[in-house]
């Protein structure tokens, strides 16, 4: 089972997704079967999750097909529509991306010796099929960045690299939409990375037990069907254990935290001339093993 947040008849609902059967199962029904009440969101579910739930959920819903809802009856939202804290992001974490943007966003073109962190505000989150706003009059250079997103499963600080996987709940797809003119205008990237709707996320969370560790997955981004980015997460400069260990030094990771791991070469800014997003563009972010995240740019 994979996990998602959907809108079903106007109500936000956390669910298990059966992709093979084109159906979903409401999570609250599983808790009711345990004699418990669950009215929370995805972060609440992550906080309550226990490893044994993986098999228990499959057995329970596998034996109760009458509880299923057809996929065409729901709208997928971002799996975590309202994170409790800012999204943590890594900059310049693929060597080919470092090379393509050298001198374009400030700083040197050298491969970083330590992870580069910044954050995106929570209001940037949108879900599958949602519209990426252009913010006309504020920015003229909107760019795309497909990224593997880590979803943290439990609290921890000062985590050893060899223990990093224990703190992961799962993975999803993100697109770190960036206002490049704002990014270069301000010495710090927060403003250029934090415009409303500039972090498509989804379509669901792949739990870690379904992704072999280390996570080596093909990652791509298409604009209007044209492939722009094409790499593999094995090419991360700082891998996932390093990211979790380094970030957690003196910093408390919490259930539901989202960490974007960086983007490979092929961003619009890296072309000559640049290929920034235009009104009506179709953006498809793909990570094999997880799925596809489709969005359009505001007309």
Which domains, from first to last, does the chain contain? 2-76 (no CATH), 87-297 (3.90.850.10)
Mean pLDDT value across residues 155-168: 98
Residue 112 has pLDDT above 70, yes or no: yes
For residue 253, name the pLDDT band (cuts at 50, 70, 90): very high
Residue 108 has pLDDT above 80, yes or no: no
Contact of 286 with 146, CB cutoff 8 Å: yes
- Name the pTM for this structure: 0.96
According to the model, what pLDDT value does residue 104 have? 67
Q: Which two tokens stand for residue 88?
A: 């943590």
- From the number of C-beta atoms within 10 Å of its C-beta (0-12, 13-18, 19+), residue 252 rates as exposed
First to last CA, the chain: 36
CA–CA gap between residue 109 and residue 144 (Å, rounded): 20
Alpha helices for 162-201 (secondary structure H): 180-185, 190-193
According to the model, what pLDDT value does residue 102 have? 73
- From the number of C-beta atoms within 10 Å of its C-beta (0-12, 13-18, 19+), residue 165 rates as middle
In angstroms and rounded to an integer, the radius of gyration of the C-alpha atoms of the chain is: 19
Residue 3 has pLDDT above 90, yes or no: yes
pLDDT in tens, 31-70: 999 999 999 999 999 999 999 999 999 999 999 999 999 9
Task: Return phi, psi of residue 238, to 5°.
Answer: -105, 115
CA–CA gap between residue 175 and residue 279 (Å, rounded): 17
């Amino acid at each position: 089972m994979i996990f998602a947040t959907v809108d079903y008849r106007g109500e936000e609902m956390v669910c298990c997704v059966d992709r093979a059967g084109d159906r979903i199962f409401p999570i609250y029904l599983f808790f009711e079967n345990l004699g418990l009440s669950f009215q929370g969101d995805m972060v609440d579910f992550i906080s309550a999750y226990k490893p044994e739930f993986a098999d228990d959920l499959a057995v329970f819903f596998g034996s109760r097909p009458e509880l299923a809802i057809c996929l065409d009856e729901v709208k997928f939202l971002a799996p975590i529509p309202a994170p409790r804290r800012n999204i943590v992001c890594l900059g310049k974490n693929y060597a080919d991306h470092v090379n393509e943007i050298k001198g374009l966003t400030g700083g040197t073109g050298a491969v970083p010796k330590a992870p580069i962190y910044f954050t995106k505000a929570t209001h940037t989150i949108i879900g599958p099929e949602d519209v990426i706003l252009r913010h006309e009059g504020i920015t003229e250079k909107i760019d795309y960045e497909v990224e593997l997103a880590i979803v943290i499963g439990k609290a921890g600080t000062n985590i050893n690299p060899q223990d990093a996987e224990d703190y992961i709940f799962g993975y999803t797809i993100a697109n770190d939409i960036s206002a490049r003119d704002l990014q270069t205008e301000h010495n710090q990237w927060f403003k250029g990375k934090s415009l409303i709707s500039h972090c498509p996320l989804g379509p669901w969370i792949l739990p870690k037990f379904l992704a072999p560790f280390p996570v080596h997955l093909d990652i791509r981004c298409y604009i209007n069907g044209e492939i722009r980015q094409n790499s593999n997460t094995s090419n991360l400069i700082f891998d996932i254990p390093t990211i979790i260990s380094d970030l957690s030094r003196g910093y408390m990771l919490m259930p539901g935290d989202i960490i974007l791991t960086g983007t490979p070469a092929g961003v619009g800014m890296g072309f000559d001339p640049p290929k920034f997003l235009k009104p009506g563009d179709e953006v498809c972010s793909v990570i094999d093993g997880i799925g596809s995240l489709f969005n359009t740019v505001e007309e």
